[in-house]
Amino acid sequence: MEYAQKLVYQSNYWYNDGLKRAKIRDMSGAVASLKKSLQYNRENIAARNLLGLVYYGRGEVGEALVEWIISKNFRSHENIAAYYIRKVRENAAELEAMNQAIRRYNQSLVYCEQNGEDLAIIQLKKAVAAHPSFLKAYQLLALLYLHTEQYGKARQVLREAHKLDTTNDITLRYMHEMKQLRKSRTARSRREEKSQTITYQVGNETIIQPAPAGMKDSAGRATVLNIAIGILVGAAVVWFLIMPAVTRSNSAKTNRQVTEFSDRIAAQESQIGALKTELDTYRTASEEAESAKQTAESSVDSYEILMQVYSHYLANDMSDADMAGELLKINPDALGDVGKKRYEAIRSEVFERYGAALYYLAQENYSVANYADAITNLTRLMQLDEGYGDGQAMLLLADSYKAGGDSKNADIWYDRLDQNFPDVRKSNEADEEGQKTQEN
- pLDDT single digits (tens) 403-414: 989 989 989 998
Domain-located, residue 419: no
Indicate if 330 and 379 belong to the same structural domain. Answer: yes
132 and 107 co-located in one domain: yes
Residue 215 falls within a domain, yes or no? no
Q: Both 148 and 238 in a single domain?
A: no
In a domain, 185, yes or no: yes
- Decide if 405 is inside a domain: no
What pLDDT score does 285 carry? Answer: 64
Q: Are residues 189 and 165 in the same domain?
A: yes
Domain span at residue 340 reads 278-385
d(CA 332, CA 306): 10
Which CATH number goes with the domain that contains 173? 1.25.40.10
Judged against a pLDDT cut of 90, whether residue 376 lies above it is answered with yes
Answer yes or no: do 103 and 20 share one domain. Answer: no
Is residue 62 domain-shared with residue 155, that is, in the same domain?
no
pLDDT tens-digit profile of 79-122?
888 888 888 888 777 777 777 788 888 888 888 888 888 888 88
Do 110 and 180 belong together in one domain? yes
Same domain, residue pair 245 and 282: no
Q: How far apart are CA 308 and CA 311, in angstroms?
A: 5
Q: Which of 159-163, 184-188, 222-226, 291-295 has the highest mean pLDDT?
A: 159-163
CA 62, chain centre distance (Å): 10
Which of 58, 90, 122 terminates a domain? The answer is 90
What contacts 390, CB < 8 A, 6 or more positions away? 421, 424
Q: State pTM to two decimals.
A: 0.39
Give 1's pLDDT tier (boundaries 50, 70, 90).
low
Q: Are residues 329 and 357 in the same domain?
A: yes
Residue 241 covered by a domain: yes
Q: Is residue 53 part of a domain?
A: yes
In a domain, 350, yes or no: yes
Of 353, 385, 417, the one marking the end of a domain is 385
User: What's the confidence (pLDDT) of residue 373?
Assistant: 92
295 SS3 class:
helix
pLDDT bracket for residue 33 (50, 70, 90): very high
Of residues 439 and 348, the one with the higher pLDDT is: 348
| Mean pLDDT, rounded, for 272-300 | 66
| Residues 284, 352 within the same domain | yes
Tell me what pLDDT residue 365 has: 92
Q: Sign of torsion, CA 226 227 232 238?
A: positive
Q: Is 267 within the bounds of a domain?
A: no
The amino acid occupying position 399 is D
Q: How much is the pLDDT for 65?
A: 85
78 plus 100 within the same structural domain? no
Closest CA to 15 of 31, 32, 30, 37: 37
pLDDT above 70 for 318: yes
Tell whether 352 and 282 lie within a shared domain: yes
Count of structural domains within the chain: 4
Task: Please answer whether residues 401 and 410 qualify as being in contact, where contact means their C-beta atoms are separated by less than 8 angstroms.
Answer: yes
- Residue 251 confidence (pLDDT): 64
Q: CA angle at residue 242 from 237 to 247, to 5 degrees?
A: 140
pLDDT (tens digit, 9 = 90+) per residue, 145-172? Answer: 888 888 888 888 888 888 877 777 788 8
Domain boundary residue among 90, 120, 146?
90
Query: pLDDT tens, 9-27?
Result: 888 999 999 899 888 888 8
Percent above pLDDT 70 for the chain:
73
On the question of pLDDT at 238 being above 50, the answer is no
